Structures are given as C-alpha cells and as structure tokens.
Structure 1
Amino acid sequence: MDQEDNHKSFQILQITAGETYPVRQPVLRPGRHPEECIFEGDTTSSTLHLGAFLGYTLVGVASFMKNKHSHFNEPEQYQLRGMAVLPEYQNKKLGEKLLLEGEKRLIDQASNVLIWFNARESAIDFYKRYGYKTTGELFMIPNVCKHIVMYKNLVPRSG
C-alpha cells in the first residue's frame, strides 16, 4: 500500500470522551497523569468528540465543546479542545480531517457558529491555513506551553 492509499483508509467517526484519553495523554500531556487529559465539558451532551481511525485503531482525536469565551459575542460558540494525533500518524493530514469534519458537523446543526480555542504556539501556522485568526497575546498554560486564542466564524455555504 503506498502512502496515498494509506491516507484514504483513515475514517473520522464520532467517539466518546473516554475514547479520547489514550490519544490525548501521550500527545498533549506526555509523562503526566492520565487524569490531566479529562477536560471540563467532556461528558456534556452538546460536546462532539471525533476520532481518526486507521482500521479499528484510534490514532487522532478532537473535541468540540459548547463553551463561550468572554471576548466574543456570538451566541453559538464551541471550543476546540484536546486535538491530538499520535506521533507515528502525524503529517498525514489527520489534523486537517478532524478539524474540517468538526466544522462541517457544527455548521450542520447551527447556522452561525464561532469556533475558538487556545492554540499552542507551535500550531498557530497550522490553524491559520484553515482561516483561523489570533486575538490577544501569547500566554502560558502552567506546566504545558505558550498558547494564544484563535477563532473562526463558520457560515453555511450558500447554494
């Protein structure tokens, strides 16, 4: 199987909060206690958890939580949290697939949605490629790294 065929075999499916933790922990909190990967809002019914699968193996995750940020006025706001792809599966466009599928699903359920999140400094350029903008200044999340707030208004495609 060549590399292009390998990319096509990945599927993005809805998963549970608990299924995200084994991917979040080694990517986002390596060497730390697994409980540090449990986020407030994980089990709320409005939270959307997506998983990237290669066959039956979960290799990437992203969670979209209904959560308002005081900087924004939009009534429908979702926070992207815990986006992670296992190291051996990075650079295969799985982050893109997770992000775009999350956007699609959110826009299918609400006409105007704002997605915002605290992006790691190292991921800013990735998100900018998909139309996300920064606001404010870099800040430190203790015991993690520098982050900045990023956002994007999702507007349904006409036609």
Structure 2
Amino acid sequence: MPTRLYHLKNDAYQLKEINAKETWPVRHPVLRKGRPLEDVYMEADEQASTFHLGMFHNNDIIGVASFMDDSHEGFTGAQFRLRGMAVLPEYRRKGIAELLLKRGETLLKEKGKTLLWFNARVVALQFYKNLGYQVDGTLFDIPKVGPHYRMKKQLL
C-alpha cells in the first residue's frame, strides 16, 4: 500500500501500512497504560492476512489500527475484526481515527470483505456510531481493560 498524504488543520500527515511492532508506541500508552509493554501484543498480529495502518506526523507515529481475519460466530459474511485502534491524546479530534478506519474499510472492501466488527470502549461508542457502526448486544467487561460494546458494520 502506498503512503497517503493528508492535510488536516494546516498540518501534514502520512498514512501507511506498518508492521505489528510499529503499533506498540501508540497502543501501549493509549490502550495498555501502566502495564508491561508486551501486553500490547495480539495473537493475530503476525498472521499473513492481518494488516496494520499507521498515521505519522513529522515522521512520528501518532495513530494506529489493526485489521485481523477473525469471525464472530453470531455474524455472517466475509468478516474482519478491528483491534488496537488508538490515537495519541494530543492528536485526537483532528480526524485521524476516522481516516485510519475509512482506509481500513476501503482495503477490506477491495479484499471482498463484507463485515467489520470489533469490541469498542464505552468512551469511543459515539465516534463509531457516527461512522455507521451499530451496537450488537449489551455492555460487557474485558478483564484488565474495562467495559466494551461489540459493534459491526456492513461493508457494501
């Protein structure tokens, strides 16, 4: 995937495909703060079908999203799962997470995938709803992480 250049609020950002370990500098402080660095590793990180996107500002990684070939038994279709979506606090509310997610959706559609699902933190629920994702089920707790809702979106 070629690097894509975006201009947001008079600043330049680059979005490109990265490897799993490159996600760690963002995943760790945002999603696993105060825990060992190794806690950011996910079993599917190294699968051939998994892809990771990173957003860069001044050559520093500031946002990440990982897309993994994972099916939920309650869903149908060619599924993928979003995991490890994170943007550093000082770069939030600039449209970075939306760009990462929309680029991932585009790549999944190109691969013939029809559904993207994930577990969303409560604080991010409205963000995902605004992008067309729907809650599936009730609030549940992920140990050491906190309350989440399962969400999904048909990729037409």
With normalisation by structure 1, the TM-score equals 0.91
Show CA shifts across 1:29-79 (max 9, x none): 1111111100110000100100001131110000000000011021x1111
Q: Identify the residue that residue 44 of structure 2 maps to in structure 1.
A: 41
Count residues with an aligned counterpart: 149
Where does structure 1 lack aligned partners over 5 or more consecutive residues? none
What is the one-letter code of the residue matched to 1:131? G
Partner of 1:121: 122
Q: Which structure 2 residue ranges, 5 or more long, are not aligned?
A: 1-7
Q: Contact 2:9 / 2:94 at 8 angstroms: preserved in 1?
A: no
Task: Look up the match of 2:101.
Answer: 99
Distance across 2 between alignment mates of 1:51 and 1:36? 19
State the identity %: 48
Can you list the C-alpha shifts for 1:63-120, whole angstroms capped at 9, x where unaligned?
A: 000000011021x11110000011111111110010000001111121x421000000
Alignment correspondent of 2:148 = 147
**Matched residue type, 1:122:** V
TM-score normalised according to structure 2 size: 0.93
CA distance, structure 1, for counterparts of residue 9 and residue 61 of structure 2: 19
Pair 1:12-2:12 in alignment: no
Aligned to 1:78: 80
Segments of 4+ moved more than 3 angstroms:
none
